[in-house]
């Protein structure tokens, strides 16, 4: 970064991973410019502050951020307690963002619209690596400004870009026309949004942590409001994966959530419709009729879209990216997290080398780095930004030595004795990382995986051949 060394590094997003990136940059003597679209740090989590996380505090806070906080007298929450989204904001993100070191470098109400290289469009190569980036920002009130920066860390998450309800990745036929009957992905059904759900027919669509949370909260609401009817539509043939690890889950909060959901379905409180890929939605006399691709229909007053998220790549249009064609994660990372082949929360720790793009000194980190895969964990993101800050500072050795302790998350199929939800070819390779005994695993190895093979092959090869696979290292 020689010709740009007096410029800051742009950090897009003041979520947990963006703020951690800023803390690591500061430790490296680099200057962060933190650009946050929302009114405050943690603006995306603010939308789900009523939801409890599934991982305890010890996995949710970043080491460099803690060092900054503790220097100002902050006391860490109990490491084993599992916080709500609101507690993560109030007890960690807000105090962190208020520290003078961070606050003086954080602009809120600052939405990044686009990133490019100064004076160069995407097609120009000569000198590209040594020319500053330009980050175009729209500030609240409409003022648009360009900021030259030495590097860019995109930690803007995926929250504002939910997947459509349609089963083939497009909005279902009629979906935009019934938008007023579709809620946010994680409504507060027993709190501020209660009025829209009490004594209504509510259809929850999706098979992840968000769906599980919303369904359980709706069941609580139905105790007070017995006319509330809870419908649950999933595309798959079984909800086993959502039920998760139960007692075997290394994240007990997550295990308990799944077990409770299973009981509610078995008791008939929640009406589960499997194999229900959505083809169309239509407004019918104040309600919405949701039709599946095989011709079944469900009537609901409100639809909750827990269909996951996808990265907004529009702001990156002028940059040279190398993304996995399926998952839209950095190309080396995609095969390790592709939900079709790898349903586990655990992934080998990785850093700058794996996250690099042809665009030098540009990195996507945090939730957005997982593209469309839903299994991102904060602990993974914190190791990503430690490594990226080291790489931007020119400390290649620190950047390439990645080390991380991760919990088993029970995202795998967990019926005792069954294997991971992966094809047979990779099941053996995956066993140690996702279905084995629920011990936290300490993994550390230099980054860099094989090229030029299919996602499945790469996944199997990387897990089988790594001399320091998680199974071996867990004994360390």
Ligand X SMILES: Cc1cc2nc3c(=O)[nH]c(=O)nc-3n(C[C@H](O)[C@H](O)[C@H](O)COP(=O)(O)OP(=O)(O)OC[C@H]3O[C@@H](n4cnc5c(N)ncnc54)[C@H](O)[C@@H]3O)c2cc1C
Q: Is 49 among the residues that bind ligand X (CB under 6 A)? A: no
Q: Is 36 among the residues that bind ligand X (CB under 6 A)? A: yes
Q: Is 153 among the residues that bind ligand X (CB under 6 A)? A: no
Q: Is 210 among the residues that bind ligand X (CB under 6 A)? A: yes
Residue among 44, 96, 165, 460 that touches ligand X (CB under 6 A): 44
Residue among 156, 163, 183, 214 that touches ligand X (CB under 6 A): 156
Q: Which is nearer to ligand X, 433 or 466 (CB)?
A: 433
Query: Burial letters for 327-359: b for 16+ Cβ neighbours within 10 Å, e otherwise?
Result: bbbbbbbbbbbbbebbbbbbbbbbbbbbbbbeb
Question: What is the CB-side half-sphere exposure of residue 93 using CA atoms within 13 A?
Answer: 26
From residue 350 to residue 379, the character string flagging contacts with ligand X as x (rule: CB under 6 A) and all else as - is: ----------------xx--------xxx-
Candidate ranges 33-41, 163-171, 323-331, 413-421; the one touching ligand X (CB under 6 A): 33-41
CB 109 to ligand X: min, Å: 9
Rounded CA separation 180/278 (Å): 18
Q: Is 32 among the residues that bind ligand X (CB under 6 A)? A: no
Candidate ranges 15-23, 66-74, 95-103, 317-325; the one touching ligand X (CB under 6 A): 15-23
Residue among 57, 133, 159, 197 that touches ligand X (CB under 6 A): 159
Give the closest residue to 436 by CA, choosing from 381, 475, 466, 404: 475
CB 309 to ligand X: min, Å: 8
Rounded CA separation 388/391 (Å): 5
Element (H, E) at 209: helix 209-224
- Ramachandran region, residue 130 (left: φ > 0; alpha: ψ -120 to 50; beta: rest): alpha
Sign of torsion over alpha carbons 312, 317, 318, 323: positive
Q: Which is nearer to ligand X, 95 or 174 (CB)?
A: 95
Neighbours of 123 (CB within 10 A): 7
> And the tokens for 435?
């279905």
Residue among 10, 30, 50, 55 that touches ligand X (CB under 6 A): 55
Candidate ranges 8-16, 239-247, 385-393, 453-461; the one touching ligand X (CB under 6 A): 8-16
CB 89 within 8 A of CB 51: no
Distance set, CA 206 to CA 25, 184, 213, 303 (Å)? 37, 13, 11, 11
Q: Is 330 among the residues that bind ligand X (CB under 6 A)? A: no
CB 155 within 8 A of CB 366: yes
Residue among 204, 272, 315, 352 that touches ligand X (CB under 6 A): 315
Angle CA(27)–CA(83)–CA(344) in degrees, nearest 5? 80
Binding residues (CB under 6 A) for ligand X: these are: 12-18, 35-38, 43-45, 48, 51, 53-55, 59, 111-112, 155-157, 159-160, 186, 209-210, 315, 366-367, 376-378, 381
């Amino acid at each position: 970064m020689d010709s740009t060394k007096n410029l800051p590094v742009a950090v897009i997003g003041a979520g947990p991973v963006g703020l951690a990136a800023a803390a690591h940059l500061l430790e490296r003597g680099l200057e962060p410019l933190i650009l946050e679209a929302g009114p405050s740090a943690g603006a995306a989590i603010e939308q789900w502050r009523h939801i409890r996380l599934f991982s305890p505090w010890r996995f949710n806070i970043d080491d460099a951020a803690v060092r900054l906080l503790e220097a100002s007298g902050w006391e860490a929450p109990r490491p084993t307690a599992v916080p709500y989204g609101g507690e993560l904001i109030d007890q960690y993100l807000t105090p962190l963002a208020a520290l003078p070191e961070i606050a003086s470098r954080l602009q809120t109400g600052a939405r990044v619209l686009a990133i490019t290289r100064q004076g160069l469009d995407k097609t120009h190569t000569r000198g590209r690596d040594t020319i500053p980036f330009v980050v175009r920002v729209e500030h609240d009130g409409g003022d648009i400004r360009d900021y030259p920066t030495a590097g860019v860390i995109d930690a803007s998450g995926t929250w504002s870009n939910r997947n459509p309800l349609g089963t083939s990745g497009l909005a279902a036929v009629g979906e935009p026309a019934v938008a007023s009957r579709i809620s946010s992905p994680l409504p507060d059904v027993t709190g501020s949004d209660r009025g829209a759900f009490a004594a209504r027919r509510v259809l929850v669509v999706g098979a992840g942590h968000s769906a599980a949370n919303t369904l359980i909260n709706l069941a609580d609401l139905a105790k007070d409001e017995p006319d509330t009817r809870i419908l649950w539509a999933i595309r798959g043939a079984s909800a086993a994966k959502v039920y998760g690890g139960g007692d075997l889950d290394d994240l007990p909060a997550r295990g308990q959530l799944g077990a409770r959901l299973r009981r509610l379905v078995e008791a008939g409180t929640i009406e589960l419709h499997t194999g229900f890929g959505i083809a169309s939605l239509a407004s019918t006399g104040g309600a919405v009729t949701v039709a599946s691709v095989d011709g079944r229909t469900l009537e609901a007053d409100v639809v909750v879209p827990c269909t996951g998220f996808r990265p907004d790549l529009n702001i990156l249009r002028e940059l040279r990216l190398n993304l996995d064609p399926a998952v839209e994660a950095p190309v080396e990372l995609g095969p390790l997290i592709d939900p079709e082949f790898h349903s586990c929360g655990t992934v080998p720790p990785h850093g700058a080398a794996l996250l690099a793009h042809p665009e030098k000194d540009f990195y996507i980190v945090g939730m957005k780095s997982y593209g469309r895969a839903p299994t991102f964990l904060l602990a993974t993101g914190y190791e990503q930004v430690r490594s990226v800050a080291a790489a931007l500072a020119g400390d290649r050795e620190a950047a390439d030595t990645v080390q991380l302790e991760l919990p088993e998350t029970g995202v795998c199929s967990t019926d005792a004795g069954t294997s991971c939800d992966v094809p047979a070819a990779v099941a053996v390779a995956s066993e140690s990382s996702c279905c084995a005994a629920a011990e936290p695993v300490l993994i550390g190895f230099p980054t860099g995986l094989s090229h030029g093979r299919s996602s499945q092959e790469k996944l199997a090869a990387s897990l089988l051949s790594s001399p320091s696979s998680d199974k071996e290292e867990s004994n360390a």
